[in-house]
């Protein structure tokens, strides 16, 4: 029971330090559902470092689709493998949507929606959610429309 309490306290501290992700506005939700305006980025194209930082692991690493990574909490040789891996990314002129998986004690999936600056060089967190595995952007829009994406909990300060 002590371990459970310790984990809960750590999560509370992290939530306070990291701040909860913003809520998705109705207008941004409608824009994300406009599937025809988005295009999938090629799997071989690395994400810009400024964008990858929103979904990389604690060491700033994000494996490309199909690349070796650490899907469990067992440490790889020398801890050299990233604990998160990109599944796909899609963008339009306004948003970059990144779907990734995270290894560790529990294998989880997440989606990060980033707002893109007008010059395309800066990114701002618009929304972050837990998700099921989503094959592509079409599956993302279906999950979004069906409210199947779980927002990060807002924990009190």
pLDDT digit string (tens) for 91-135? 999 999 999 999 877 889 999 999 999 888 899 999 999 999 999
pLDDT value at 12 more than 90: no
| 2 belongs to a structural domain | no
Nearest CA-CA partner of 69 in 89, 57, 85, 45: 85
Residue whose tokens read 């409210």: 147
* pTM score: 0.80
| 57 belongs to a structural domain | yes
Number of domains in the chain: 1
**Predicted confidence band of residue 79 (pLDDT cuts 50, 70, 90):** low
Q: Which domain holds residue 144?
A: 21-151
* Beta-sheet strand order (sheet of 108-116): 39-40, 84-91, 95-102, 108-116, 123-131, 150-151
Cβ–Cβ under 8 Å, residues 155 and 15: yes
| 110 belongs to a structural domain | yes
Q: Which residue has the higher pLDDT, 71 or 15?
A: 71
Nearest CA-CA partner of 48 in 36, 58, 62: 62
> Six-digit token pair at 81?
């493998």
């Amino acid at each position: 029971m002590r371990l459970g309490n310790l984990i809960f306290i750590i999560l509370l501290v992290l939530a306070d330090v990291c701040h909860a992700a913003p809520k998705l506005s109705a207008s941004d939700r409608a824009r994300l559902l406009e599937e025809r305006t988005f295009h999938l980025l090629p799997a071989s194209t690395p994400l810009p470092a400024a964008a990858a930082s929103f979904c990389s692991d604690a060491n700033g690493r994000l494996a490309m689709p199909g690349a070796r990574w650490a899907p469990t909490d067992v440490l790889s040789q020398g801890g050299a493998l990233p604990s998160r891996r990109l599944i796909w990314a899609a963008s339009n002129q306004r948003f970059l949507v990144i779907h990734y998986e995270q290894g560790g004690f529990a294998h989880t999936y997440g989606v990060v929606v980033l707002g893109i600056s007008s010059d395309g060089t800066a990114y701002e967190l618009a929304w972050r959610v837990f998700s099921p595995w989503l094959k592509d952007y079409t599956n993302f829009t279906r999950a979004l429309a069906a409210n199947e994406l779980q927002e990060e909990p807002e924990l009190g300060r």
